[in-house]
């Protein structure tokens, strides 16, 4: 077993599952989307992106591209969250939460593509 590949797969799958956990729920309900889960998803996506640098294969380029898309989507969502003005109840408005979750859902799609690439690459690998 290759420890480097285990760590690589761990972060790719963790990025997808954390992002899924954040996205799941009513899209406009701020109580269904936790800031710390979003933060964890962002950090793990950045780590996964760093791990993808240096692979000079075509599949490696696709992994890096999907990861960069996910990080970009989550970074824009983080900026939206940072500049958002809370409503009178102290929570984000439904409009703002919808924008954040929609961007995170785009990152989730990129993460899913990355996981599919990982599975295909693993199944095609010869011993």
Tens of pLDDT, residue by residue over 3-54, are 988 999 999 999 999 999 999 999 989 889 999 999 999 999 999 999 988 7
Number of domain units in the chain? 1
Domain that holds residue 21: 3-124
98 pLDDT tier (thresholds 50, 70, 90)? very high
Cα separation of 97 and 4, whole Å?
37
Separation between Cα atoms, residue 75 and residue 38, nearest integer Å: 10
Instruction: Give yes or no for a contact between 18 and 34, defined as CB atoms under 8 angstroms apart.
Output: no
Instruction: With 0.85 as the threshold, say if the pTM is over it.
Output: yes
Write down the mean pLDDT value for the chain. Answer: 92
* Distance from C-alpha of 21 to C-alpha of 38, rounded to nearest angstrom: 9
Question: In terms of Cα–Cα distance, which of 51, 39, 54 is closest to 11?
Answer: 51
């Amino acid at each position: 077993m290759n420890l480097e590949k285990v760590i690589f797969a761990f972060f790719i799958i963790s990025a997808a599952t954390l992002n899924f956990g954040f996205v799941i729920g009513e899209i406009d309900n701020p109580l269904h989307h936790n800031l710390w889960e979003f933060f964890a998803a962002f950090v793990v996506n950045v780590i996964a992106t760093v791990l993808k640098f240096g692979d000079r294969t075509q599949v490696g380029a696709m992994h890096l591209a999907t990861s960069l898309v996910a990080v970009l989507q989550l970074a824009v969502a983080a900026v939206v969250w940072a500049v958002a003005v809370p409503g009178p109840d102290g929570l984000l408005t439904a409009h703002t939460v919808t924008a954040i979750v929609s961007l995170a859902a785009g990152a989730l799609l990129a993460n899913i593509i990355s996981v599919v690439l990982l599975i295909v690459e693993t199944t095609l690998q010869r011993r």
